Chains A and B, each alone.
Chain A
């Protein structure tokens, strides 16, 4: 794992997030949410600072981060791609769409392309089941996506 250096101003902000929840151990999940909003992801250094502020073991923080799929330890791409794997999308072929994104971009779920442009993740139901299968890129929603359209969607952001 390569060490990264966090900017001092960001560290101060992170400590403020912890302080907002009174550095309470049982607010760990909320604090992690806040931290991920701040950094876009949760690198080890961020988890270490949170552990210190909350007086918990960093192993425990890491345990929580790795348990919930929402939390990510790798930076999201410039254009985060999410494929809905909710029941409706799944039965309408979302898995094949997801596989196609993974194949073309040559990444696994949760990973980011080496150029930092795209990251691929799956999520559960965006509440647009009528448009299944649904893909979101950033805040833009694509409905009734077919395997053939995957390359086109990627091209829009190249």
Chain B
């Protein structure tokens, strides 16, 4: 590609043709402030509607100021990024934005993590000289996401995520001028729309306009109730990101400190969702082998490829978009729900508790898990298997609220028995991890041979769609992997058209998998953070003594004592589910 020379703040810089001024400036260490702009490097999308005008710069020979995010560099261009004219313009723009923004920073969920607040502070805005009408929209509370559009600045990052990255398309800019806002069709509530609760809109919202349902007060209420025994499960992705909330480098593993914090907060038992991930592998892996063996025996009706079903955003997506394919995904519940089902039966029995007196809390990197835990089919007589789901961010809030010095905590171990897990359970957090864990187990069950090399590097990575063939002792098992619902849709369309050649497909709704979940600490557009978290997960796996789910001693014991066979009658009743047609009906 041909190169272009230009100067930015009197420094010469050489960039490839097509580079924006923002990106060119980064190359020489100049960070032009942006607000609506967001570049998700490893996801391959860039939001630059050029709407907010915070990034304006002065160009020699051009009369008006230019938005740096949208303006492409040209040969000989002379850019000034911080002249008085530029700074004054940015201040005016910010003052105008703030004149229609609720001044609720003290109580706003986003305070301290808000891009708008950060930019306003950088510009030193101390008063807002403009007074005018204030936007007033209805608040929309779904089971997972809250929309408070009074705080929307129309950056449209959420719309980009929903429409382009996830291809859910439930959000769109509507109306015009002062009335404009991002909303679902006909301004219906999210709950009635095609929203999957993947939450990626929340993950990129620069303000408090989109946020998660906060369950921390309910968790605290359960903890102080003397009649309740409160246990907690933590998803694998949480340990690789929680440290960021306490100033630690992205990719710092804080498993031991997290366990310690949860014990100090007052949970009666601290368990690991990784254990349930191992259980998922037993069920999903067995289901894969059953379908595969039938297929190899010549059964034409067997549904292949099998699709993983541990991601609730993905489950919502196919229930809404592919209701004619509900028999294709695995029927295995997600690890969160498997954990809940075993906790409220086996564990409650062991602890001599009624299920109503046992409160199961989950810490998840995910917003869709909040909705999943409330699904009717995961309740017994109105009592849910998982009572309350909180995010990584909410957990950090609880740790801060409990006045714990997180970084000084000593490492502690998960409680037994449901804290025992393998490396296979850990890698559920990463895109490609579920299928790698499944392969480790399915290989040994299928071939009756020991798998010597457990690291399947061909299944790892960050490409949106990946494929690999694994040698199952002579049988080439073809595997597809997609993360991000837009990529999932591509693979799904192939399955629907009958052109898919895969035997098994892993799908995770969020870019990067659960480590990039919408409940994780905000990445503010730095997708490198996701890679660092993924690397941490693989480190945790490599350090585990046992790395295959079927070798987890408590898993073996649980099947022996309680469940019977994988995919057997009891396992089916407790660990499997069914799906519903949720497609909106149109003539």
Contacts and interface: CB of A to CB of B under 8 A. Distances in A.
B586 A49 contact: yes
A45 B587 contact: yes
Contacts of B141: none
B185 A58 contact: yes
B163 interface: yes
A6 B174 contact: no
Interface residues of A, number: 20
A57 B172 contact: yes
A63 B586 contact: no
Contact of A6 (B163, B175, B584, B587): B587
A57 B170 contact: yes
A59 interface: yes
Given A63-B172, A66-B174, A66-B175, A57 B185 contact: yes
A44 B172 contact: no
A60 interface: yes
Interface string A42-69: 0011011101100011111111001100
Contacts of B173: 63
A64 B188 CA distance: 16
B186 interface: yes
Contacts of B442: none
A19 interface: no
B72 to A, nearest CB: 24
Interface string B157-185: 00000010000011111111000000111
Contacts of B170: 57, 59
A61 B176 CA distance: 14
Contacts of A141: none
A59 B175 contact: no
Given A1-B186, A6-B587, A49-B586, A57 B163 contact: yes
Contacts of B184: 59
A48 B584 CA distance: 10
A62 B174 contact: yes
Chain B facing A: main interface SS: loop
Contacts of A44: 185-186
B546 to A, nearest CB: 46
B174 A63 contact: yes
B174 A48 contact: no
Interface in A10-63: 11, 44-45, 47-49, 51-52, 56-63
Nearest to B169: A57
Interface in A122-139: none
B176 A59 contact: no
B186 A11 contact: no
A67 B177 CA distance: 9
A52 B194 CA distance: 14
Interface in B565-587: 584, 586-587
A59 B586 contact: no
Given A67-B175, A67-B176, A62 B185 contact: yes
A61 B185 contact: yes
A61 B170 CA distance: 11
Contacts of A59: 169-172, 174, 183-185, 193
Nearest to A47: B185
Given A57-B163, A57-B172, A67-B175, A62 B186 contact: yes
B164 to A, nearest CB: 11
A120 to B, nearest CB: 18
B172 A11 contact: no
Centre residue among A1, A61, A63 by max chain B CB count within 10 A:
A63
Contacts of A60: 163, 169, 172
Nearest to B170: A59
Interface in B168-218: 169-176, 183-186, 188, 193-194
Nearest to A58: B185
B353 to A, nearest CB: 46
A51 B148 CA distance: 27
A67 B179 CA distance: 10
B350 to A, nearest CB: 49
A127 B584 CA distance: 45
A110 B143 CA distance: 34
Contacts of B188: 1
A48 B169 CA distance: 13
Given A1-B186, A44-B186, A47-B185, A62 B587 contact: no
Interface of B: 163, 169-176, 183-186, 188, 193-194, 584, 586-587
24 contacts: A1-B186, A1-B188, A11-B587, A44-B185, A45-B586, A45-B587, A47-B186, A49-B586, A56-B169, A57-B163, A57-B169, A57-B170, A57-B185, A59-B169, A59-B172, A59-B183, A59-B185, A60-B169, A61-B185, A62-B185, A63-B172, A63-B173, A63-B174, A67-B175
Given A59-B172, A59-B185, A67-B175, 15 more contacts: A1-B186, A1-B188, A6-B587, A11-B587, A52-B586, A57-B170, A57-B194, A58-B185, A59-B193, A61-B185, A62-B172, A62-B185, A62-B186, A63-B173, A66-B174
Closest 10 CB pairs of A and B: A57-B169, A59-B172, A63-B172, A59-B185, A58-B185, A62-B185, A48-B586, A66-B174, A66-B175, A63-B174
